[in-house]
Amino acid sequence: MSKGLVLITGITGFVGTEVALTFFRSGYRVRGTGRSAAQLERWIGAFPEHKDAFEFTIVPDMAADGAFDEAVKGVDYVAHTASPFHFHIEDNEKDMLIPALKGTTGILSSIEKAPTVKHLVVTSSFAAIGDIMAIAMGQVTEKVYTDDDWNPATWETAKASDNAAYVYCASKKIAEQAVWDYVEAKKPSYGVTTINPPMIYGPPSQPVTSIKGLNTSTTDIWNLISGELKEVPDTPIPTWSDVRDVALAHVRAVEVPAARNQRYLMIEGHFSFDQAAHVLHKNFPEISSRIPPSKNTPPGPHHKSNSSKVQRELGITFKTFEQTITDTAARLLELEKKVGTA
């Protein structure tokens, strides 16, 4: 017996794939969105064991009016993982702010027409919570971030900024704020939960045809084992989560009553890339010559965080940093053999 039908937007991505697989394994049927039938058929082709529990809806442009109207019909739950994540910005509003906002308000508008929906989970980000640019510049050292904090960026400051990373972080804050403004104004019958992780690491489960096509955070780990780096890079945002734990939080959010209308900061730990390199040297001695030298130096003075709420209320036991980095690298070495590095 299925536990219900879950719509997962952005299902073919790094996070979307792991969320989908975790829902499958937890006994749910899944409907995924993507830009084309061919893309979605290729995706499920990588997971034939779940084919009978899968269906899809094509959403060419998630910022279009009514983009998700068909996708939400008849579903019990929605996991909205889709959001632009890139720094190729020519027009701050057109390329980042508007798509992020409309992608979120669009799913809310579509759910209004879908009375079957019982719960919406939105993949937000620590970028919506922390003053990321100040953190990256070493200006935030004593602050303890919690689920109650918000990035101070605004639409106007983001519109005027010439820093793509700042604009991206602002877009996450603006999109998530729209969710909670909607909940306050409309008081929908369904529950809403947002999950707010920082950089997400962990083994990539999504189909990969090229190492160069990996998502940004996974590329960070690939760079440490590729042999191209002679020195460990700086760690501007020294916080991490594991994609498998983030995915589990999405499932628990629709199952645990306490998650209704809650926001969860999900920082599993603080780290430096030097510490990551140390883990890699320890666990992959056969490629040690490819990994930059490491002194296992922890990050310098930086902010603190408290993610006890997500552990307590959703029953998530965080993976260790060593497990996350080791599992990520092991998967990347498998992919290197399978698809090469071109």
Number of CB atoms found within 10 A of residue 114's CB: 18
Average pLDDT over residues 203-228: 95
Tokens of 98: 């508007």
pLDDT of residue 62: 85
Number of CB atoms found within 10 A of residue 206's CB: 21
pLDDT of residue 84: 59
Per the DSSP assignment, residues forming a β-bridge with 195 are: 123, 264
pLDDT tens digits, one per residue of 6-48? 999 999 999 999 999 999 999 999 999 999 999 999 999 999 9
Q: Of the given ranges (84-88, 139-143, 252-256, 278-282), which has the lowest mean pLDDT?
A: 84-88
Number of domains in the chain: 1
Q: Are 91 and 165 in contact (CB under 8 A)?
A: no
Number of CB atoms found within 10 A of residue 74's CB: 12
Q: Is the pLDDT of residue 87 over 70?
A: no
Average pLDDT over residues 182-197: 98
* Percent of the chain scoring above 70 in pLDDT: 99
Residue 1: band (very low, low, confident or very high) from pLDDT cuts 50, 70, 90: confident
Average pLDDT over residues 161-178: 94
Q: Is the pLDDT of residue 94 over 80?
A: yes
Distance CA 104, CA 81 (A): 10
CA angle 112, 182, 190 (to 5 degrees): 50
pLDDT of residue 11: 97
What is the average pLDDT value for the chain, to the nearest integer? 95
Provide the CB-side half-sphere exposure for 188 (13 A, CA): 24
| Count of all residues that appear for the chain in the document | 342
pLDDT of residue 169: 93
Q: Is the pLDDT of residue 317 over 80?
A: yes
State pTM to two decimals. Answer: 0.96
Q: Is the pLDDT of residue 86 over 90?
A: no
Distance CA 216, CA 180 (A): 28
Residue 88: band (very low, low, confident or very high) from pLDDT cuts 50, 70, 90: confident
Tokens of 236: 């501007």
SS3 per-residue string spanning 317-330: CCCCHHHHHHHHHH
Average pLDDT over residues 136-146: 93
Q: Are 196 and 300 in contact (CB under 8 A)?
A: no
Q: Is the pLDDT of residue 55 over 70?
A: yes
Question: Could you give the 3-state DSSP secondary structure of residue 24?
Answer: helix
Distance CA 310, CA 317 (A): 9
Residue 330: band (very low, low, confident or very high) from pLDDT cuts 50, 70, 90: very high
Residue of 50, 31, 22 lying closest to 254 (CA atoms): 22
Checking DSSP bridges between strand 199-201 and strand 239-242, what pairing results, if any? Answer: parallel
CA angle 85, 88, 92 (to 5 degrees): 85
Q: Which is it for the CA torsion 222, 266, 117, 50, positive or negative?
A: positive
Structural domain that includes position 297: 5-339
CATH number at residue 44: 3.40.50.720
Q: Is the pLDDT of residue 222 over 60?
A: yes
Per the DSSP assignment, residues forming a β-bridge with 190 are: none
pLDDT tens digits, one per residue of 268-300? 999 999 999 999 999 999 999 999 999 999 999
Number of CB atoms found within 10 A of residue 196's CB: 28
pLDDT of residue 63: 83
Distance CA 151, CA 144 (A): 13
pLDDT tens digits, one per residue of 299-316? 999 999 999 999 999 999
Alpha helices in the chain (DSSP H): 14-25, 37-45, 92, 98-112, 132-136, 155-160, 164-186, 216-225, 243-255, 273-283, 308-314, 321-339
